[in-house]
Amino acid sequence: MGMTLAALAVRHNCELRGDPDEVVDHVATLAAAGPRALAFLANPQYRSQLAGTRATAVVLASADAAGCPVACLVSANPYLSYAEMAHELHPPAPLRPGVAAGAWVAPDARVGAGSQIEPGAVLGAGVVLGERVHIGAGVVLGARCQVGDDSRLMARVAAYDGVRIGRRCLVHSGAVLGADGFGIARDSDGRWTKVPQLGGVVIGDDVEIGANTTIDRGAIEDTVIGDGVKLDNQIQIGHNVVIGAHTVMAACSGVAGSTHVGTRCIIGADVAVAGHITIADDTVIGGGARVARSIRQAGIYGGVVPADEVRRWRRNAVRFGQLDDMARRLQRLEQVARDTDGSEP
């Protein structure tokens, strides 16, 4: 789908420097772009590639415009403007409404107008789909699931009974929504008894859920994913977790049960968040961090022991285990000093 630079500039509130009648029809990187390509510069690490680009136009900040050899679309937020333009140049394939051969839809399921159900999909009793919903091949929706207008579930998504998905959501392949949370009780003989998981999963509007991500159903109340949340691939969300609106989480992170993550948080890759704690709104947690207690005040948090030469790492690990004893010895020495001369050491 081709668009003129003039149209893009008007639609996305950019200043155009160049021929307004030039047309772009796809996006590309600065280094790989050719004719009719739209590129962008948002990270200064790639500024050296700007001078040699063969793109038709580049989305960039005003500070970089003078060094651009081709037409440019100047934006206060180049990456956001590029993202919006890329959506227009590369729209999703249009839906083909109807139920494909090989799909099974329960007699009492309701399918909204314009929805597409691909082969191998299963819609259980009482399922309700909104309008223009895309159900990919092999998707399984348990009894009483609900999916809002314009949402897309890619191949082999599994939603257990009663899961509710909002409007304009995108759920990638392999995601599992509503599996049982890890609730078990131990008896006096050390044997484990499963605790029934009776809650559900409620997913707001405009949520994206990455491939092979798992969101457990609540033990009694629901697990809740707020509006606009973006979850990367291979994330684990435990039972009764609440993720506040517009929070984002990168790959391989996990949140244990009954934790409340605030709104607009940014959680890096491989972050482990303990259960039964609270994370304040607008908190940023760096990749690899281990969050063991509540964060009550917004800020940037992190901390992880970096990889090191193995012998030195082992020595330091031993010393780490000795810190408590060392601290006690230091306290005793300080007390002796105070008792001796009555002053602080």
- Show the 3-state SS of 258-318: CCEECCCCEECCCCEECCCCEECCCCEECCCCEECCCECCCCEECCCCCCCCHHHHHHHHH
Residues with active-site annotation: 239
pLDDT at 227: 98
pLDDT tens over the chain, length 345 residues:
799 999 999 999 999 999 999 999 999 999 999 999 999 999 999 999 999 999 999 999 999 999 999 999 999 999 999 999 999 999 999 999 999 999 999 999 999 999 999 999 999 999 999 999 999 999 999 999 999 999 999 999 999 999 999 999 999 999 999 999 999 999 999 999 999 999 999 999 999 999 999 999 999 999 999 999 999 999 999 999 999 999 999 999 999 999 999 999 999 999 999 999 999 999 999 999 999 999 999 999 998 877 889 999 899 889 988 999 999 999 999 998 888 876 555
pLDDT at 272: 96
The model's pTM is 0.90
Picking from 26, 25, 21, 17, the residue whose alpha carbon sits closest to that of residue 5 is 21
- Residue 326 DSSP SS3: helix
Picking from 155, 157, 165, 92, the residue whose alpha carbon sits closest to that of residue 130 is 165
10 Å CB burial of residue 252 (0-12, 13-18, 19+) is: middle
How far apart are the C-alpha atoms of 263 and 57, rounded to whole Å? Answer: 36
